Amino acid sequence: MASTSERPPAFRLSAVLSGHTNDVRCVIAETSRPPTKSPRLASASRDGTARLWLQEEKGAAGTQWRESYRWCEEDRAYENAVAFVPPDVEGGRNGYLATAGADSLIQLYPLDPPQSEPAFKLTGHAHNVCALDVSADGSKIASASWDMTARVWEWTGTEEGYACDKVLVDHEAAVWDVLLLQKEPDLLLTAAADNRVRLFDLATAQVRYTFKGHTGPVRALAKLLPEDLDCALFASASNDGTIMIWNYQSGDSITSLGSHDSYIYSLTSLPTVGGGGLASAGEDGIVKLWNEDDGELDQEILVPALSVWSVTALPNGDIACACSDNLIWVFTRDATRCADQATITEYEDKLELHSAREELPADGSPNRRPRASPSAPAINDESALEAGGQEQQVKLWHEHEWQEMGEMVEGPPTGEAAGKNKEQPRMEFDGQEYDFVFSIDVADDTPPLPLPYNRDSDPRSVASTFVQTHALPDSYVERIVDFIHAHTRP
């Protein structure tokens, strides 16, 4: 058990990276970059762009981050994921940046030097691609999609570039994350919205183990002690707010860590040089640091954003967070890389605007401060749902206030009424007939948005597509699913 004196130093603010004009959905560090070169980050955003960030030495002024390149295609759907693909000099393969998003495409852009046109486009997924992972040698790319599959793409050494080698289909809902196991390249972990983690044998495309324990969609995976290739432990995080530790070789559940107050979206393991441990982040706007030795909570970092979508660890031990405030926040345990006073002041001001109650410590340490109000979304059942009324509404807690989220308009009756009147006419929307057409109010100053639905449709897929189409927070998905279930089940 680590004593207080043995625990690593606290993270403090290092930098804030601005440029994106919408939620930054993913940030990833280039872990294969030689230590003699400046660290790089890549980010993906709902603004439809992917960006490359470079940290430069500024002498006595320390270090400074700058945007070094931007990939932006006209009318490109929003981006969800990015991954660095290391080069293979001997094999003649260049290094690439892989991007993926709502258009179901995976695109690989040359990196050194960066080029605006993709060298390869990987097609095959039928829905939003939400996560990517790459093998240490760059020969494999794994992808996760809302089409309920994970795919593995292999380098062919031809003009084709990468080709789909395996399609993993044993999921009952959207696949949120994938993790290639570097020591055992024929194994892949997947995290899915059916509350399960699965270990696939890529030689056979069959499930070796199914890890059960979470009570909500599993959103993130991370291998523990990544520098120790013999370590068989990994972590999973879920919408249920918990982090669970497993052994992928035995299939056993080892333990669980503390929890978040809301959905957990991202996990990353920290290198030993940065003090080691595990970082988690999610809908509560907090990054939590878990001790490598005993699994206890070392620190909570409050980020001035509603959601922290992604967290990544740099080789030097710093962490970067991609957030719903359109920014990337970087934190460090190294005093030589701490932010200047102007940046700390900006951080303080944003925290105050985010309704934090306590004063920021004078040393600029970004420790957690309690929120003025909860951020976890919830249905206001008593005041929003009228069981016997002609019009039924649902509200969502979002941005610290109740927002009217849905109004059920005419549709086939449910419950006893459904049995009495089986000839209820279907509703027409956009030239097609549906069992239901819900009207979803997302803002007071805009008309309600129609949500057509058939009884044989998958509620989660319909809700996810609706949220994606209208660029709504991911936290709406579960609420819409609950709303659909409440009003369509007989």
Evaluate whether residue 375 is within a structural domain: no
> Are 237 and 105 contained in the same domain?
yes
Evaluate whether residue 1 is within a structural domain: no
> Are 395 and 441 contained in the same domain?
yes
> Are 429 and 340 contained in the same domain?
no
Evaluate whether residue 42 is within a structural domain: yes
SS (H, E, C) 445-473: CCCCEEEEECCCCCHHHHHHHHHHHCCCC
Alpha helices (H) in 254-375, listed in sequence order: 341-353
- What's the mean per-residue pLDDT of the chain? 82
Alpha carbon distance 259, 288 (integer Å): 9
Evaluate whether residue 440 is within a structural domain: yes
> Are 320 and 400 contained in the same domain?
no
Alpha carbon distance 343, 338 (integer Å): 10
Overall average pLDDT of the 6-11 stretch: 86
Evaluate whether residue 368 is within a structural domain: no
Choosing from 353, 370, 401, the residue where a domain stops is 353
> Are 249 and 309 contained in the same domain?
yes
CB 70 within 8 A of CB 49: yes
Lowest pLDDT segment from 206-220, 308-322, 432-446: 432-446
Q: Which of 180-189, 368-377, 402-411: highest mean pLDDT?
A: 180-189
Evaluate whether residue 102 is within a structural domain: yes
Q: What domain range includes position 340?
A: 11-353
Which amino acid is located at 20 in the chain? H
> Are 130 and 255 contained in the same domain?
yes
Overall average pLDDT of the 433-446 stretch: 71
Q: What is residue 63's predicted lDDT score, i.e. its pLDDT?
A: 82
> Are 185 and 118 contained in the same domain?
yes
The total domain count for the chain is 2
Q: What is the largest CA-CA distance in the chain?
A: 79
> Are 348 and 452 contained in the same domain?
no
Q: Is the pLDDT of residue 73 over 80?
A: no
CATH number at residue 331: 2.130.10.10
> Are 90 and 199 contained in the same domain?
yes
- pTM value is 0.76
DSSP run (H or E) holding 384: helix 381-384
Evaluate whether residue 3 is within a structural domain: no
Compute the half-sphere exposure of residue 323: CA atoms within 13 Å on the CB side of its CA.
22
